[in-house]
Amino acid sequence: MFSFEKEYDVIVVGSGHAGIEAALAACRLGCETLMLTQNLDTVGQMSCNPAIGGLAKGQLVREIDALGGAMGINADATGIQFRMLNRSKGPSVRAPRVQCDKKAYQFRLKAQLERQPGLEILQATVSRLLVEDESARGVETDIGISIRGRSVVITAGTFLRALLHVGELSKSGGRMADGSSGLTGDLLKLRFEVGRFKTGTPCRINRRSIDFSRCQVQLGDEPLPRFGFLPLPRENDNDLHTLNWTKNGKFHVEQLPCWITNTTSKTHEIISANLHRSPLYSGRIEGTGPRYCPSIEDKVVKFASRTEHHIFLEPEGRHTEEFYVNGISTSLPFDIQFAFLRTIPGLEKAQILRPGYAVEYDYFPPTQLAHTLETKRVPGLYFAGQINGTSGYEEAAAQGLMAGTNAALKVLNRAPYVLSRREAYIGVLIDDLVSQGTDEPYRLFTSRAENRLALRHDNADQRLTERGFQVGLVDSARWKQFSEKRSALQQLRDTTEKTRVDGEFISHLMKRADFSLSRLPSEIASLAPEDHWDLVVADAKSEGYIRRQAVNGDVSRYDEQAIPDQFDFARVNGLSREAREKLARHKPTSVGQALRMSGVTPADAAIMSIYLKQSRRE
């Protein structure tokens, strides 16, 4: 066994979305950090769709950015289509989503890691955890290298004892063309509990074989909704693999279109007739799949009355013809994928570049973790990302940031950094995981947050940057820019409270649903940039709701609200499908107990509570 002389403060296993944020956060706190990864060519790889953000996930990315993380700025720098989802709805549920150039996204992150002071990177597969005095003390690799570390963060993603499935064929691997990782065996010896999940991905096709005249175009938004709170560098400011720059003072991107088509009854017929060849339905896959990213087989079976499902055709990059076929994740055999693809309008002559497949992998139920993401069983050992039963790049990155931060803080003998449910989606995500666990791949939703009206994507910096600076995650440049913005916002708020228009204070006018900036005299409207007005107006509009929510939001009263025996949860309108299923299965006896169940959100509990009150009155 060859031993490294150096002892690292933090060792990060894995270079996926969790590993990257964990390593960078530990370095920002001044720790000597080592990142080990099975394959350096897959740093930051998006295993499935080439997009960052979306509902609730977009909020997470902005929180990561507000704490100095890499994901948001990297998506901005390599994005090829930018959209704001739910633009027509209230500001608390709007969320940015960026379609990225998949390879540029990876290369830019790899370059950033390679240049990060305090970080070393090594391509190596970790096979064993070194434990001394019951604490994590380093790792060993499969080619006989022993490395000491004062803490270890494992972010092994979908790779643990991973098995890939295409139709009747299965082989070992965490992602097509990658190996799997045997680290589970070592963790089982340390008496960790393990579970099994599965996920899947659709085929990729050649752009030249798509008939776009049969599809509907979907363009990006202008102005571009960005993730980063800091401006992107100007062109030629540095030579990271950046596609998009600030040009002439403006963030500029040549956006690429996406396209929409749909499955047909013929598609569904072919899939139904071949379900026996799907490892999902033949019983060969044991792991539980992601409810909110179902395979096309699942969609056809579970929503049998639907005659079509939307499909989004998304380019994988600027310098490739490869298209991602969003909506038909499958593990059916290649011949069936080939046949059903050609029943889809626009894809009649589609050429498959990569087949779809499913992957089954081990995860470690996250109730084995503290809120710092340190394992309860082995001090100094942290888990982050898909290993904790989540699905999604953003959920993984958020956990990586917090695990890397806490691993570093522990080594530095400093107090841990934990975000509460009230201040951040990151807090909701981690609290849900460690308090309730999850029996299926966990995806974040805004409905999981009690305080969602206040947790907007556009105020993530106001909620988090100050504490991030105190902890050491936020550098002085970001802090300076944020402090200036905060003062400017305060000045604007003061102005709105002192200035009347048509006899009424602007701060009152702004609360009205029909308020728009055009109602103000131009000399007042031009006192601040439009995005500052947007923030102040959004705060004013939501203020009353948030106050009411604080009064009604005391959930302790839910424990006293009994749910009668034999209660039929199917009668309650508005419950999510997941909540309805789990309530019917576990039959909680009070709304409080229901709320503590994994999969039942605060919104579901509120609906139950109102329903029970109404039934009692009737």
Ligand X SMILES: Cc1cc2nc3c(=O)[nH]c(=O)nc-3n(C[C@H](O)[C@H](O)[C@H](O)COP(=O)(O)OP(=O)(O)OC[C@H]3O[C@@H](n4cnc5c(N)ncnc54)[C@H](O)[C@@H]3O)c2cc1C
Question: Would you tell me which residues interact with ligand X (CB under 6 A)?
Answer: 13-19, 36-39, 42, 47-48, 125-126, 155-159, 175, 181, 183, 199-201, 293, 329, 359, 385-386, 391-393, 396
In the complex with ligand X, the residue whose CB is nearer, 158 or 598, is: 158
Give CA angle at 379 (373, 383), nearest 5°: 30
Residue 252 is classified by DSSP as E
List phi, psi (to 5°) of 259.
-135, 150
Please name which of 428, 444, 436 lies closest in space to residue 390, comparing C-alpha atoms.
444
In the complex with ligand X, the residue whose CB is nearer, 28 or 175, is: 175
In the complex with ligand X, the residue whose CB is nearer, 81 or 201, is: 201
Residue 306 in contact with residue 294, Cβ under 8 Å?
A: no
Least distance CB 580 / ligand X (angstroms): 23
Least distance CB 536 / ligand X (angstroms): 34
Least distance CB 80 / ligand X (angstroms): 19
In the complex with ligand X, the residue whose CB is nearer, 84 or 162, is: 162
In the complex with ligand X, the residue whose CB is nearer, 54 or 317, is: 54
Least distance CB 384 / ligand X (angstroms): 7
Least distance CB 179 / ligand X (angstroms): 8
In the complex with ligand X, the residue whose CB is nearer, 121 or 293, is: 293
Least distance CB 139 / ligand X (angstroms): 8
In the complex with ligand X, the residue whose CB is nearer, 388 or 507, is: 388
List phi, psi (to 5°) of 342.
-80, 0
Helix (H, G, I), strand (E, B) or coil at 3: strand
In the complex with ligand X, the residue whose CB is nearer, 17 or 299, is: 17
Cα 485 from Cα 464, distance rounded (Å) = 14
Cα 80 from Cα 320, distance rounded (Å) = 12
In the complex with ligand X, the residue whose CB is nearer, 181 or 261, is: 181
In the complex with ligand X, the residue whose CB is nearer, 445 or 533, is: 445
Cis peptide before 529 (omega within 30 of 0): no
Residue 385 in contact with residue 19, Cβ under 8 Å?
A: yes
Residue 80 in contact with residue 255, Cβ under 8 Å?
A: yes
In the complex with ligand X, the residue whose CB is nearer, 390 or 609, is: 390
Structure token pair of residue 134: 């019951």
Pairing of strands 33-37, 119-123: parallel
- 254 burial type by CB count under 10 A (0-12 exposed, 13-18 middle, 19+ buried): exposed
Cα 361 from Cα 391, distance rounded (Å) = 12
Least distance CB 256 / ligand X (angstroms): 21
Cα 278 from Cα 166, distance rounded (Å) = 8
Residue 37 in contact with residue 19, Cβ under 8 Å?
A: yes
Cα 366 from Cα 310, distance rounded (Å) = 34
Give CA angle at 202 (199, 207), nearest 5°: 155
Residue 234 is classified by DSSP as B
Least distance CB 141 / ligand X (angstroms): 7
> Would you tell me how many other CB atoms lie within 10 Å of the CB of residue 354?
14
N-to-C CA span, the chain: 75
In the complex with ligand X, the residue whose CB is nearer, 175 or 204, is: 175
Least distance CB 472 / ligand X (angstroms): 23
In the complex with ligand X, the residue whose CB is nearer, 396 or 603, is: 396
Least distance CB 385 / ligand X (angstroms): 2
Helix (H, G, I), strand (E, B) or coil at 456: coil
Least distance CB 7 / ligand X (angstroms): 19
Cα 69 from Cα 129, distance rounded (Å) = 27
Least distance CB 391 / ligand X (angstroms): 4
Structure token pair of residue 121: 């990177």
Mark 418-439 as b/e (b = at least 16 C-beta within 10 Å): bbebebbbbbbbbbbbbebbbe
